[in-house]
Chain A
Amino acid sequence: MGIGLRQPHYAELLDSLPALGFVEVHSENFFADGGAALAVLQQARKHYPVSLHGVGLGLGSAAGLDPWHLDRLARLVDRVDPARVSDHACFARAALHGGDVVHANDLLPIAFNDASLALMVGHVSQVQERLGRTMLVENLSSYLSFSDDSMREPEFFAQLCRRSGCGMLLDVNNLMVNALNAGVRDPVAHCRAFVDALPMGIVGEIHVAGYCQADDLVIDDHGSRVRPEVWALCAHALQRFGAVPVLVEWDTDVPALAVLLSEAAHAESLSHG
């Protein structure tokens, strides 16, 4: 089981070296040529496997991948030899302002249809070829979706993994956030059905996190403890897929390290349950 390596915990984590299966970082935070953050990551790498989790490739962008971004990611992979490399099934880059391609720096939703699947397959293959390794692609929490989707999301991921050779990073909190925002009658059953619809063998990492309610929308803010229903989904996924690494994500209002470690310990107990 793993936790995110975040700046408020750098010193304490590296001093105490708690028992963890891995630490996770957002790849883009370590794209600089040098500096303190990169030194900390390389120090952590001496003690833990690292999961490089990207938020900026924009794998579903019709405008294509940014070669600069891919070069920086490849350099980081060379530097830390990560256990896993992942990013999201989203778009981020699009042409605006008279043709300039801008980067939204957000995880924007893609349609689930043949055209976007073809885009994703091509871009994931491009990344894997450049890195010389397979990657994992994560399902989004999204606040908007498209009315002309032609396939269900589990089918989209099944085909993406089969055609590109990538794996899936299953975020069970995102499933719950989407189900709640869609107003489905039984969110837990809806999410379990999503998990059950995924082929065996494609899930390479599971994410859990907290969410919050803001007015009439559930926000995937990674700012609190994992909700009981999300833990239950995680347990269900572990039961189905076996001993898959689980990451506890906590990115806003980052708590004391001990709190994060207690969440990771709970994830560990589920994997043995």
Chain B
Amino acid sequence: MIDLELVLDNLPLYLRGTWTTLWLTFASLALGLVLAVPLGLARTSRNPLINGPVWAYTYFFRGTPLLVQLFMIYYGAAQFAWIRESVLWPLLSQAWFCALLAFTLNTAAYTAEIVRGAVQATPRGEIEAARALGMPRALVLRRIVLPSAFRRALPAYGNEMVFMLHGSAVASTVTIVDLTGAARIVNSRYYSPYEAFLTAAFFYLLLTFAIVGLVKLLERRWYAHLRPHPG
């Protein structure tokens, strides 16, 4: 039924695609996380001038499809002369940069809301105790709030990592040969959709399990103090 020879012949293409998927996903996740921490903290602010714009940003990026966001950047940037004449144009005219930008902004929006939820769940007493010990606000943030917030955010962030991996498949719609792109090439070349897409699905499944396993490992480490002690 499945033509394994066809799959093996195209294995190098799939492996290159897997590599593209991996670096796009993890570069976006890393950049998105760096953006998300200050954005998430801004969302906990009571000042509407700080909270409002970040709220609008996360509302837009969480309320619209990633595919449309990617098209807005990849196809949309060329509409404006000031972008075409800017120093960023050599980057913005390339598919990989647009995908990286769209994915980063998207995951940053979701992650910012995860950070907000985790920070807001900090027990008040912990902050009050730290303040009472004379810690300045920045130190409270660094030593008390963020470490426990990261711990609380881990399960939700693990889901976000999987969503980003799966979401990155839309990169194949803007000429990028990621894992899905490789499958689309194989399908159009041999007209064998089962081999083409099931192979990609298999690789995605492996990557998903790897991420889930990684998060489980981290959870075991970070929640070690919460495990019941033997004896």
Same complex: no
Measuring CB to CB, which residues of chain A are less than 8 angstroms from any residue of chain B? Answer: none
Measuring CB to CB, which residues of chain B are less than 8 angstroms from any residue of chain A? Answer: none
